[in-house]
Amino acid sequence: MVPAYTLDYYGLAAIYCSPVIGALLCIPLGHYLFDFIGKLWAKRHNGVIAPEARLIPIWIVLPLKIAGYNMIGVTVQRHLNLWILIVGWGMHNLSTVLTTSAVAAYLIDCYPEASGESAAWLNFSRTLAGFILGYVQLNWAHSAGTEVEYGIQSAIMGGAFLFFVVPLTFFGSRIRKIQGPLKFKTN
């Protein structure tokens, strides 16, 4: 595999700054998006914000996440302009931080008595998946190409959305009632 880009200092700086800029843009965007959705939900549900309202931002940012991921794969495979890669990486990082924040808010709202455990399991699963993917990704890119690799990963994200987020958005309250309260000692 031939390196796709010979980066000068500006290109290298842009590659390193792209995820940081995506994360920094997430702060005001997430703040206003979460507030807007919360107010809208409360207005339509007699002033009550259910935990399921925390999942609505994922519906909005998932297309951005998939588009950013596919921009990365296509750009590297076809050796397109470096700035497409940089923008795709920033889009992916922004949407990843927003998605993680939405899932964390949902879990904490659902299980306030287990907020520490929820945060720990969320961070553990994210970190584990990141390390596993790091070991698999290079060989996968060599054998299938980055366009196929990132396309499959985008399909997995879409499948996870359909399998987890959609049912929890509509049936999360019923599932929690069936499950019952958490029964572990917190003292």
Look at residue 134 in the predicted model and tell me its pLDDT.
84
Look at residue 186 in the predicted model and tell me its pLDDT.
62
For residue 131, is pLDDT > 70? yes
Look at residue 105 in the predicted model and tell me its pLDDT.
94
Residue 11 binned pLDDT confidence (cut-offs 50, 70, 90): confident
Q: What is the DSSP letter of 79?
A: T
For residue 5, is pLDDT > 90? no
* pLDDT one-digit tens code per residue, 133-162: 888 988 999 999 999 999 999 999 999 999
Residue 183 binned pLDDT confidence (cut-offs 50, 70, 90): confident
For residue 58, is pLDDT > 90? yes
Look at residue 143 in the predicted model and tell me its pLDDT.
94
Separation CA 147–CA 112 (nearest Å): 41
Q: Do 82 and 35 contact (CB within 8 A), yes or no?
A: no
Lowest mean pLDDT among 29-38, 39-48, 89-98, 175-184: 175-184
Separation CA 95–CA 157 (nearest Å): 12
Q: In the chain, what is the greatest distance between 2 CA atoms, to the nearest angstrom?
A: 59
Separation CA 98–CA 67 (nearest Å): 15
Q: Do 21 and 96 contact (CB within 8 A), yes or no?
A: no
Helix (H) or strand (E) segment spanning residue 111: none
Q: What is the DSSP letter of 51?
A: G
For residue 49, is pLDDT > 70? yes
Sign of CA dihedral 19, 60, 101, 131: negative
Domain boundaries of the chain, sorted by first residue: 9-177
Q: Do 122 and 103 contact (CB within 8 A), yes or no?
A: yes
Among residues of the chain, what percentage have pLDDT more than 90?
74
Look at residue 4 in the predicted model and tell me its pLDDT.
64
Look at residue 187 in the predicted model and tell me its pLDDT.
61
* pLDDT one-digit tens code per residue, 65-114: 999 999 999 999 999 999 999 999 999 999 999 999 999 999 999 998 88
